Structure 1
Amino acid sequence: MATTNIWQKFKALIPEGSRTIVTITANNGNGTSQAQLRDGSVVTVKGESVQAGLKAFVQGGEIKGTALDLAQYEVEV
Structure 2
Amino acid sequence: MRNLFKEFLALIPDPALQVGAVQSVSANVATVVLPGGGLLKARGGSPELVGRNVFVRDGVIEGLAPDLPTEIIEI
The code of the aligned residue for 1:36 comes to V
Which residue does the alignment assign to 1:23?
21
Q: Percent identity?
A: 24
More helix by share: 2
**Which residues of structure 2 form unaligned runs of 5+?**
none
> Is the CA contact (8 Å cut-off) linking 2:20 and 2:55 kept in structure 1?
yes
Which residue does the alignment assign to 1:32?
29
> Any runs of at least 4 consecutive aligned residues in structure 1 with deviations exceeding 2 A, and if so which?
71-75
Task: State which structure, 1 or 2, has the greater radius of gyration over its C-alpha atoms.
Answer: 1
The alpha-carbon deviation at position 62 of structure 1 amounts to 0.7
The alpha-carbon deviation at position 72 of structure 1 amounts to 3.1
Which residue does the alignment assign to 2:70?
72
Aligned partners of 1:26, 1:69: CA distance in 2, in Å? 18
Which residue does the alignment assign to 1:62?
60
Which of residues 36, 39, 43 in structure 2 aligns to 1:42?
39
TM value normalised by structure 2: 0.70
**Aligned-residue RMSD, C-alpha:** 2.5
**Which residues of structure 1 form unaligned runs of 5+?**
none
Aligned partners of 2:15, 2:55: CA distance in 1, in Å? 12
The alpha-carbon deviation at position 16 of structure 1 amounts to 2.4
